[in-house]
A and B are shown apart, each in its own frame.
Chain A
Amino acid sequence: MLESLTLGEALAGIERGDFSADEVTAALDARIDSLDPHLNAYVHRAPAGAGAAAGIAPAGGPLCGLPFTLKDNMNLRGTPTGCASRILASYESPYDCTAAARLLAAGGRYLGKTNMDEFGMGSSNEYSAHGPVRNPWDLARAPGGSSGGAAAAVAADLALFALGSDTGGSIRQPAALCGVVGAKPTYGRVSRYGLVAFASSLDQIGPLAKDVADAARVLELIMGPDPRDATSLDAPVPRLLAAARKSARGLRVGLPEGLAVLGLDDAVAAAWEAAAAALAAQGAERVAVSLPRLRHATAAYYLLATAEASSNLARYDGVRYGLRAAGAADLDALYRRSRAEGFGPEVRRRIMLGTFALSRGYYEEYYLRAQKLRTLLARDFDQAWERCDCLLLPTTPGPAFRLGERLDDPLAMYLGDVFTLPVNLAGLPAVSVPTAVHAGLPLGMQVVGRPLDEVTVFRAAAALERAFPFRETRRRAVAAALDAGDAP
């Protein structure tokens, strides 16, 4: 069962000489062949037999030739970068994204690109030109989004680990809804060069992995300054794997007051309390903190993220690459038809909202107020750090919802990001760890840290993982769901 190994186990096995990286890749390939038709997690796959044997990826290095997946919004030469959008349906990039290049340089092997919500805009992975991804715990449910393909692939052992991107929770939310670990580092820790922008001031790349240690390993490989990204931070890369082995004793864990108002399922509230108790049992201290502007974060987020997106997506105009509508007699028609045909409904909605928020007469009332709220929210977090070392809060207000359930209600979809998006607005590091199962579906808890303090976040996340071992639970649940669905 090489496909069910963690990255840590695979590395240890290769070192012992028990098996090779090619064998691990072959096992994953076989499992993808058989199960991905049910999940729809992949949108592109490396040719079979590619990799070390074909000379594409060097063996050795910290990753020893083991495979990784990229989200469909990350550029890698020789592969399509479609962002799950019709407008980039046949697009191939002539350059590499820095994070992917670092994994290749570390001896990683490209396995494939995973499905996502179009341009990262969505929380269910239903807004994809390739169709929805299914949650491996329950094929009738959404895996979350926008890195839904990555989360589903890791949860179902269709990938060893995956890179996702997180603008308002797009790594942590699907990780929580699929029962895997997802990490979003401090804004600026991982280069965004080559990551197709959704909202530039919020986007970060991070890993989705089978356990906290794996997430730490991958993050260590991709972090660090990049001269090609002016927003990347010039800070040394912390030792996260070591941090994940440390005890949580003495950590002051902040618990924000008043989350119930924001719409918390009872089951999630119970899981949250259990997680807090588990950290306390390991010697951490519980501290009540207040984040008064948390309840306005969703409003600010959806104005700022869409404003940036409306500008970031202006380049998809049918002129230099991507889809061009046929038969446009003049330039304006070419623009408008190409963009109308190329973008799906949620992307169009967000472009419209963001364009509105920036437009003359509305800028001050919408965009600028949201910018100011963002300042206040960041100050709320700063004040919390005077009382605690990290925050614990649920990743999502509830478990995975049914496919189609929120499709006609964009606002309901947005409100599901209430606990993740404030973290992006403040640029903080966070890791989501699965800690509970409710009605057969996983729930995740999120540890949030000070800027650049990934070490504390991983310490606390590892403590949660020790308290709630999840691997067997996930394996059994996924196996059952894939049996129940007409999987072989």
Chain B
Amino acid sequence: MELGEDVVRHVESLARLELTGDEREAMRRDLQRILDYVAELAALDLADVPPFAETRPGGGVLREDAARPSLPASAALDGAPAAAAGHFVVPPAIAAAEDGDA
């Protein structure tokens, strides 16, 4: 496929990266070369093949529902770039508060 700058910008936004104009063009060229290479997969007939993730072995490992000590409160916040009153602190989102989806 031909990788346009618009797609690179979109992916950059999904990945929360920020490239300068030059970096973006260099990135576009690198990704284009890699996509040209992986295009060999497109030629294969894979219609009836299950994805590996669904066929991998294992599946029985679960934990018992027992509460264990958490980290000391300070340890959770120790490495935080900004914290206040026991909370992590970040600047507000410009967009209205989205509460995720959970």
Contacts and interface: CB of A to CB of B under 8 A. Distances in A.
A348 B17 contact: yes
B32 to A, nearest CB: 10
B89 to A, nearest CB: 9
A107 interface: no
Nearest to A348: B17
B63 A227 contact: yes
Contacts of B62: 230
Interface residues of B, number: 48
A340 B17 contact: yes
Contact of A355 (B14, B46, B51, B56): B14
A335 interface: yes
Interface in B12-41: 12, 14-19, 27, 30-31, 33-34, 37-38, 40-41
B52 A332 contact: no
Contacts of B7: 356
Contact of A330 (B15, B56, B91): B91
A373 B47 CA distance: 11
A139 to B, nearest CB: 28
Contacts of A402: none
B90 to A, nearest CB: 6
A322 B49 contact: no
B16 A352 contact: no
B53 interface: yes
A192 to B, nearest CB: 13
A383 B11 CA distance: 39
A348 B27 contact: yes
A310 B41 CA distance: 21
Contacts of A320: 79-80, 88
Contacts of B31: 349, 352-353, 356
Interface in B30-88: 30-31, 33-34, 37-38, 40-42, 44, 46, 49-53, 55-56, 58, 60-63, 71, 75, 78-82, 88
A131 B30 CA distance: 22
A368 B58 contact: no
A135 to B, nearest CB: 25
Nearest to A335: B16
A365 B91 contact: no
A378 interface: yes
Q: Which secondary structure dominates chain A's binding surface?
A: helix
A339 interface: yes
A372 B30 contact: no
Given A318-B81, A410-B30, A375 B40 contact: no
B72 to A, nearest CB: 9
A376 B49 contact: yes
A454 interface: no
Interface in A321-350: 321-324, 328-337, 339-340, 343, 348-349
A321 B80 contact: yes
Contact of B16 (A230, A322, A339, A372): A339
Interface residues of A, number: 66
Contact of A369 (B11, B42, B50): B42
B79 A91 contact: yes
B94 interface: yes
Nearest to B89: A319
Nearest to A415: B37
Nearest to A329: B91
Nearest to B33: A411
Interface string A114-156: 0000000000000000000000000000000000000000000
B8 to A, nearest CB: 7
Nearest to A377: B52
Contacts of A91: 79
Interface in A50-109: 90-92, 94
Contact of A299 (B41, B56, B60, B61): B41
A332 B17 contact: no
Contact of A336 (B18, B44, B58, B94): B18
B102 interface: no
B90 A373 contact: no
Contact of A352 (B15, B38, B55): B15
Contacts of B15: 310, 339, 351-352, 355
Contacts of A337: 18
Contacts of A427: 56
Nearest to A340: B18
A294 to B, nearest CB: 13
A411 B88 CA distance: 40
A314 B44 CA distance: 32
A233 interface: yes
Contacts of B61: 227, 230-232, 234
Interface of A: 90-92, 94, 188, 201, 227, 230-234, 296, 298-300, 302-303, 310, 314, 317-324, 328-337, 339-340, 343, 348-349, 351-353, 355-356, 359, 365-366, 368-376, 378, 410-411, 414, 425, 427
8 contacts: A188-B58, A227-B61, A234-B60, A299-B37, A332-B94, A351-B15, A351-B17, A410-B30
